[in-house]
Chain A
Amino acid sequence: MKRRDFLKATAGGATAALCGIGTAEARENKEPLENAIGILYDATLCVGCKACVRACKEINGLPPSIMGEDVQYDAARDVSGDTYNVIKVYKNGTSEAKDREIDGFSFAKKSCMHCVDPACVSACPVTALDKNPQTGIVQYNPDVCIGCRNCMVACPYNIPQYEYNDPRGQIQKCQFCNQAGVERISQGLLPGCAEVCPTGATLFGTRRELLEEAKRRLAAKPGETYTYARGRASDGLHTHDKEAPEYRQHVYGERELGGTQVMHIAGVPLNRLGLPELPERSYASIAEGVQHTLYKGMIAPAIALAGLAFVVKRNTSKADQDDPQSQNSRRPEPNNDRGES
């Protein structure tokens, strides 16, 4: 009896270990890659022309989104299966002044943030989403995707878009104009949105140089002349001078959930521009910490299975020996009567 009690306790312990929440060790956030590329979106430079939206559609072969008749320009209101990048507007009260929170307005950009520690990549069961080890681009492979849409529920920015109205739909998202067949980054070209942006509001570069540039802009005294680059951050050829606006002291994407490669700065609080307030610790690191604590090398499940098999075997055969006349304490024996008839 004592031994059996011990075994019961062992099985219980194994099960407890399996849900060993108290001991859940989590990994750290992932660090930005050495040569991670990125975009700096400066809402104070954006004039809302949506040239980036159109260029994105042309380069990626996406149909324009039309609303009503006589629309000469893309009218996409949000990212969708047909739209990877969209410019939105924030308006408050009388909307008198640009880049002002009260009675002002601001433009905003919504597109994939190419997270440093992406939740979509962590959530995808079949590695249909992954992070390019050089550029850090979050790329998608429709050939393995099963369409479970876990990437969509995991994404804090609601970026991956499933094509609900296509019986053979897939996930659509910005891949930095570098997916197979487009490959602009690999060819040394700019992503479409950054190339056409007339003011440099959408600026391409490495994440590191863009972060430095963003901090320089935030440090600039409002009203002093600042030289803004256009296209590529490191490209000194295309610049224009403009009075620095009053920036909010917040580079969105520097730290949010471990950071993003597409970063935003603006004159209004960034949560007004559709960017959620998020902690620094990535949810991917927490989820993976829990998962790996429980399943690393399948050791805990293997131990639990061995313990359970032992206890079950003992409890079923014990019933056979001790209690042969009991009908209720074991699984039924084969029905010999029927079998032979």
Chain B
Amino acid sequence: MSEHKPVEGRILTLPFMFLGVLGVIGLYFLGVRFADGLGAVANINSGYPWGVWVVYDVVVGTALATGGYALAFAIYVFNKGQYHPLIRPAILASLFGYALGGFGAFFDMGRYWQFYNILMPSNWNFNSVMLEVGLCVMAYILVLVIEFAPALLERIGATGALRWLNKVLFLIIALGLLLPTMHQSSLGSLLIIMGAKVHPLWQSLQLQPLLALLTALTMGFSIVIFEASFSAIGFRRRPETTLLARLGKVIIGLLAVYLVVRLAELVLRGKLGFAFTGDLPGNMFLLEMALFIFPLWVLLSPARRNSGRLLLFAAVSLLFAGALYRFNAFLIGYNPGPGYSYFPSVPELMVTVGIVAIEIMAYLVFVKKLPVLHSAEHA
């Protein structure tokens, strides 16, 4: 018997149809974007060329999709096999998250029909952080497809293919560990070249890749806790609090390193004062810090950590912290100079909402049709 089983239940539930409506609205505005240009839908402009499509769909979206990566680290590098029941749903969520990121990058591209140019080595600019991000994210989406393939192959009973895949899977898993390390850190490195346009509280220059990677990992572990908790509620399954609490312990170390590096950079470069000026970036920094420190407070105590509720709050707080860190660095703390402003338009937001809705719909269909969730958890 397989360890993983499809969840039973109808596909066309009420929430599913509601998500469908959001998806259709999003696709409509996406159609307008392709027919009339980016300016017809999005509020991006000369000063703010990157809006929510880049910052949410690509930068935050892929960081929220690092569950498969973070968990694979725990399981395969630190040999914590007990987390294995969580890996398949995490890989699937990662696949959809990255697919959203890749698709988001595509429809945000001003010359998407020439997209293939990034695949041609003769065009490659090895100085460009964006080149590393682009190629590495594409490669990782392929890796995620292969990592998820066993669920599909089990379903159709392709034993031969499964045996062959299992032989090389270690290499795919290794790539699945390397590639996100590369592009999640590079997504932070994208900020370096923006230089003085990025508020000093977020312009850490050489430290950008490290801070981006550490927060991506904390977000990865948090999203695993979040998804497992919600699967337990939504599909009426036994919660995995003990297992999840142990993941919480991993986060403590990451979070501690992150906070030390982040604050040391601000103190040593004499920038901490910007946090207390009472302006928007300063206040957003304080909010971001609070969202990072609250989970540390929860996780440091075994009693709090083992409370399913508090653990979930800590995870959600960390997801918001990592997302806000990225929003702050790329948008709220990004200042191209006087005369420019940006706030996303409703159609622009609806595209993002619609695509996320479609992503969730696809996740629901997959866990109900394919052996994704661990069978031992069935109530």
Interface positions of A (Cβ within 8 A of B): 4, 8, 11-12, 15, 18-19, 21, 24, 26, 78-80, 119, 121-128, 142-150, 152-154, 156, 158, 161-171, 257, 274, 276-279, 283-284, 286-292, 294-295, 301, 304-305, 308-309, 311-313, 315-316, 318-319, 323, 326-341
Contact between A295 and B192 (Cβ–Cβ < 8 Å)? no
Interface centre among A18, A79, A147, A331 (most CB of B within 10 A): A331
Indicate whether A335 sits within 8 Å of B154 (C-beta atoms), given known contacts A24-B206, A167-B36, A170-B110. Answer: yes
Is the Cβ of B37 less than 8 Å from the Cβ of A122? no
In the complex with contacts A146-B111, A316-B170, A127-B193 CB distance below 8 A: no
Tell me whether B97 is interfacial, beta carbon within 8 Å: no
Q: Nearest Cβ distance between residue A35 and chain B, in whole angstroms?
A: 23
The answer on a CB contact under 8 Å between B169 and A161 is no
Q: A21-B210, A158-B337, A283-B196 are in contact. List 6 more A-B contacts (CB 8 A).
A: A123-B193, A143-B114, A168-B111, A279-B196, A305-B174, A332-B3
Which one of B79, B169, B175, B197 lies within 8 Å of A331 (CB-CB)?
A: B169
Contacts of A319 in B (CB 8 A): 81
Are B195 and A156 in contact (CB-based, < 8 A)?
yes
State the CA gap A18–B208 with chains docked (Å): 13
Q: Considering only CB atoms, which chain A residue lies closest to B134 in the complex?
A: A125
**Which residues from chain A contact B302 at a C-beta distance below 8 Å?**
none
Q: How large is the interface on B (under 10, 10 to 19, 20 to 34, 35 or more residues)?
A: 35 or more
Identify which of B124-132, B221-229, B315-323, B354-362 touches chain A.
Answer: B124-132
Supposing A146-B112, A158-B340 touch, asked if A326 and B193 sit within 8 A by C-beta, the answer is no
**Complex: how many Å from CA A156 to CA B334?**
12
A328 and B46 contact, CB distance less than 8 A: no
Q: Does B238 contact A (CB under 8 A)?
A: no
Contacts A8-B77, A125-B134, A309-B170; A336 near B207 (Cβ below 8 A): no
> CB-CB < 8 A to A126: which residues of B?
117-118, 120, 123-125, 131
Q: How many A-B residue pairs have CB under 8 A?
A: 270
B123 touches A311 (CB 8 A): no
For B128, the chain A residues whose CB sits under 8 A away are 122-125, 150, 291
Q: Is the CB of A78 within 8 A of B177?
A: no
A338 touches B154 (CB 8 A): yes
A153 near B150 (CB under 8 angstroms)? no
Q: How far is the CB of A182 from chain B (nearest CB, A)?
A: 22
Docked-complex contact A312 and B76, CB < 8 angstroms: yes
Asked if A287 contacts B189 (CB within 8 A), the reply is yes
User: Which are the 7 A-B pairs with shortest beta-carbon distances?
Assistant: A147-B110, A329-B81, A164-B39, A339-B159, A147-B111, A283-B195, A334-B162
Given contacts A125-B134, A146-B114, contact A291 B2 (CB under 8 A): no
Q: A335 vs B117: C-alpha distance in the bound complex, in angstroms?
A: 42
Are B125 and A331 neighbours in the complex by a CB distance under 8 Å?
Answer: no
Say yes or no: A152-B49 contact (C-beta < 8 A), given A122-B127, A127-B123, A283-B195. yes
Task: Write the nearest CB–CB distance from A314 to chain B, whole angstroms.
Answer: 9
CA distance A170 to B46 in the complex (A): 13
* Complex: chain A residue closest to B205, CB-CB: A286
Min distance, Cβ B29 to any Cβ of chain A, angstroms: 14
Provide the bound-state CA to CA distance between A117 and B193, in Å. Answer: 11
Q: Are A19 and B150 in contact (CB under 8 A)?
A: no
Q: Closest A residue to B164 by CB, please name it.
A: A334
With A316-B170, A326-B81, A332-B2 in contact, do A18 and B206 touch (Cβ < 8 Å)? no
Q: Mark B52-80, 1 if CB is under 8 A from A, else 0.
A: 00000000000000000000000111110
